Amino acid sequence: MGLDKDILIDILKKLSLFSELNFGPVKELAYLFSERVFQGGETIFEENEPGDSLLVILSGEVRITQRADVSGEETLTVLKKGDFFGEMALLEDLPRSATAIAHCDTFIMEISRERFMRFVEKEPASGVKILITLARSLSARLREADNKIKAYVNLSQWI
């Protein structure tokens, strides 16, 4: 697609993940991202496959699913423009915890763990700001998962 770097810098600066960063670090990050385009229904990554990147949705939607014993697949959430996913792969070298599927035609920017870690080493203050935002996001998602577990436990007591 060849997105102009000035436009990408402006887009990244508006995303919650990078909104606290100054222009210089955002500009540097813009050159570390790769563009990816997915058609509706196309799998971005599969649950249990190796993960090593964070992805940011610039347009479109991404459905996050997990395998379920009974239904085969459960949709956990649908992410939209400005949302990010795959962040656990930046923090740990473990398989993907879910599957990501383009819900419609979707334009994504992706940064690898290696590139991100080099950025954090070079720009530690900016790296800390990003990591705090990631931690808050993971915390919110964990709370949501906890609430679902509580609901399932409460429901199972009635069955």
pLDDT tens digits along 2-17: 678 888 888 888 888 8
pLDDT of 94-146, one tens digit each? 999 999 999 999 999 999 999 999 999 999 999 999 999 989 988 888 898 78
Burial of 134 (0-12, 13-18, 19+ CB in 10 A): middle
Q: What is the value of pTM for the model shown?
A: 0.85
What proportion of the chain, given as a percentage, has pLDDT over 90? 60
SS3 30: helix
Determine the Cα–Cα distance for residues 44 and 62; give it in Å rounded to an integer: 9
In CATH, what is the architecture of 5-156? Sandwich (2.60)
